[in-house]
């Protein structure tokens, strides 16, 4: 990473951890295919299975329930399907209910037809309406199949935490299946799959300091399973065909093991920096809106809007000053557009927001430098508003 720049976009991707790099390097020296029965193949399989245990341990899950994928988007497409098996018998899922602030890979409904997907409303802080969920499930037509509910643990833009445990209870009361996107929360919050009440968790390696291009579906059991998205050679117990990538998976496992240690102490340090950053922002620009500030959030995330300044304009200004932040989610090949999260919260989606997301490698000096740049950008905003009142 360029040392003259400041990286504050951990929610888009976290820098590769040294332990993950080392695990990948070691795995790259293994010549065998993990499906081969000879010694070389068994060595590669051992690497994959070690990572499987490490990823499961991060979420309080059983290693047997971990299915490796190319990332969380594929994981979502795998699970979000009307076609399931209960053992050998077909199991129909009739409708998908998703919160309106989900990541696009979940919000788009996976393999469900659009008319079998319902968006659940959220409040002004982006927290899902649990009574609305209950009402939808009460009127769900069980004759077409079971209901499936998909709710993220932490929002990728605002960092706001969802009441997943309560949503799980409501879902179970109505015989439904709960899918939890834990991508942003993993490694930043303690996670126990059983305590959450989730049937399936979605994870992504690169959000926690592992390599890009690998993720996982974690299943609470092995009886109720979605039909494979990618059929073929039967890898991952037939749930995801295609030769596993031992190097990427090893890096994923090493990152999962690393971020599960000293989590409380690391979180406290990150929270202190986040709070200092937000206090500095508001001291400089009291009219700044910090979205979701009234709700529990990830300790590393700040998502704010400056009235009179478009998010993409601010993002470019930060970048020119050597500070990497994002204008919302980095999931659309760099495209910047209205935030569906802000729209769902009843905020100005066209104005947009700037997301600052930090990590354990962030420093107090970087926070101070960010605030210096912020002050400069805000000064230009104020000058422009005084001169012509225009939105820039």
Give the pLDDT confidence of 351-369 residue by residue, as tens digits. 899 999 999 999 999 999 9
- Distances from the Cα of 16 to the Cα of 130, 212, 216, 302, angstroms: 37, 9, 18, 22
Q: What pLDDT score was predicted for residue 333?
A: 41
DSSP string, 250-262: HHHHHHHHHHTSS
Digit-coded pLDDT (tens) for 60-70: 999 999 999 99
Q: Residues 72, 104: contact at Cβ < 8 Å?
A: no
Kindly indicate the confidence band of residue 100, based on its pLDDT and cuts at 50, 70 and 90.
very high
Q: Using the 8-state DSSP alphabet, how is residue 15 labeled?
A: P
Q: Which helix (H) or strand (E) holds 128?
A: none
For residue 69, give every residue at least 6 positions away whose Cβ sits within 8 Å of its Cβ, in sequence order, or none. 75, 78, 214, 215, 216, 217, 240
Q: Which two tokens stand for residue 315?
A: 């993002």
pLDDT for 20 equals 98
CATH topology of domain 19-259: 3.40.640
Give me the pLDDT at residue 389, please. Answer: 59
Q: What is the DSSP letter of 267?
A: H
Tokens of 233: 């050679």
Write out pLDDT tens, residues 258-273.
Answer: 999 999 999 999 999 9
Q: What is the mean pLDDT of residues 322-346?
A: 78
29, HSE (Cβ side, Cα atoms, 13 Å): 5
pLDDT at residue 386 greater than cutoff 90: no
Per-residue confidence (pLDDT) for residue 337, from 0 to 100: 66
Kindly list the domain boundaries of the chain, sorted by start residue: 6-11+262-387, 19-259
Question: Which among 192, 194, 213 is positioned nearest to 204, based on CA atoms?
Answer: 213
| Residue 391 pLDDT > 60 | no
Instruction: Tell me the pLDDT band of 219, cut-offs 50, 70 and 90.
Output: very high
pLDDT at 245 over 90: yes
Q: What is the pLDDT of residue 210?
A: 98
Question: How far from chain centre, in Å, is Cα 48?
Answer: 23
- Domain 6-11+262-387 fold: 3.90.1150
Mean of pLDDT over the chain: 94
**Cα(38)–Cα(32) distance, integer angstroms:** 8
Compute the average pLDDT of residues 373-378: 97
Q: Which residue has the tokens 């299975």?
A: 49
User: How many helices, marked H, and strands, marked E, lie in the chain?
Assistant: 12, 14
Phi, psi torsion values for 288, nearest 5 degrees: -65, 140
Q: 384: pLDDT confidence band, cut at 50, 70 and 90? A: confident
User: Mean pLDDT throughout 320-328?
Assistant: 93
In the predicted model, what is the mean pLDDT of residues 88-117? 97
Tell me the two tokens of residue 352: 């947009």
**Cβ distance 105 to 77 under 8 Å?**
yes
**What angle, rounded to 10 degrees, do the helices at 246-259 and 39-58 form?**
30
3-state class percentages of the chain: helix first, strand second, coil last, to nearest 5: 40, 20, 40
Our answer to whether residue 219 is catalytic in this structure is no
Grade residue 49 by pLDDT with cuts at 50, 70 and 90.
Answer: very high
Please give the Cα distance from 165 to 230 (Å, whole number): 31
pLDDT average, residue stretch 100-115: 96
* Residue of 59, 219, 284, 331 with catalytic role: 331
User: How far is CA 150 from each of CA 103, 131, 324, 326, rounded to the nearest angstrom?
Assistant: 10, 15, 31, 25
| Predicted local distance difference test score (pLDDT) of residue 385 | 80
SS3 300: coil
Cα–Cα distance list, 138 to 133, 150, 282 (Å): 9, 16, 43
pLDDT grade for 329, boundaries at 50, 70 and 90 = low
- Alpha-carbon distances of 153 from 62, 178, 198, 335, rounded to whole Å: 19, 12, 10, 25
């Amino acid at each position: 990473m360029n040392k003259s720049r400041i990286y504050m976009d951990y929610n888009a991707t976290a820098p590769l951890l040294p332990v993950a790099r080392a695990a990948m390097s070691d795995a790259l020296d293994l010549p065998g295919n993990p499906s081969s029965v000879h010694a070389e193949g068994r060595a590669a399989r051992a690497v994959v299975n070690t990572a499987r245990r490490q990823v499961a341990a991060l979420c309080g899950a059983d290693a047997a329930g971990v299915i490796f994928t190319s990332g969380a988007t594929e994981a979502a497409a795998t699970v979000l399907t009307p076609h399931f098996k209960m053992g050998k018998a077909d199991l129909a899922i009739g409708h998908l209910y998703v919160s309106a602030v989900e990541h696009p890979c979940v919000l788009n409904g996976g393999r469900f037809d659009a008319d079998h997907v319902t968006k659940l409303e959220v409040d002004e802080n982006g927290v899902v309406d649990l009574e609305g969920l209950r009402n939808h499930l009460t009127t769900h037509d069980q004759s077409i199949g079971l209901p499936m509910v998909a709710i993220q643990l932490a929002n990728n833009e605002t960092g706001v935490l969802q009441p997943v445990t309560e949503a799980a209870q409501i879902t179970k009361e109505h015989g439904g299946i709960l899918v939890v996107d834990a991508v942003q929360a993993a490694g930043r919050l303690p996670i126990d799959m059983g305590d959450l009440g989730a049937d399936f968790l979605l994870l992504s390696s690169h959000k926690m300091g592992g390599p890009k291009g690998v993720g996982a579906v974690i299943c609470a059991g092995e009886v109720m399973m979605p039909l494979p998205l990618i059929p073929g050679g039967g890898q991952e117990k037939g749930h995801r065909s295609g030769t596993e990538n031992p190097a990427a998976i090893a890096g994923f496992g090493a990152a999962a093991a690393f971020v599960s240690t000293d989590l409380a102490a690391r979180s406290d340090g990150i929270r202190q920096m986040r709070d200092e950053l937000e206090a500095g922002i508001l001291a400089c620009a009291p009219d700044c809106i910090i979205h979701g500030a009234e709700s529990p959030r990830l300790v590393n995330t700040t998502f704010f809007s400056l009235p009179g300044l478009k998010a993409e304009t601010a993002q470019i200004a930060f970048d020119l000053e050597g500070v990497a932040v994002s204008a919302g989610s980095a999931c659309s090949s760099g495209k910047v557009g209205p935030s569906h999260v802000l729209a769902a919260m009843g905020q100005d989606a066209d104005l947009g927001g700037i997301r600052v997301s930090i990590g354990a490698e962030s420093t107090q000096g970087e926070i101070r430098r960010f605030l210096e740049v912020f002050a400069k950008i805000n000064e230009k905003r104020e000058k422009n508003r005084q001169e012509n009142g225009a939105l820039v």
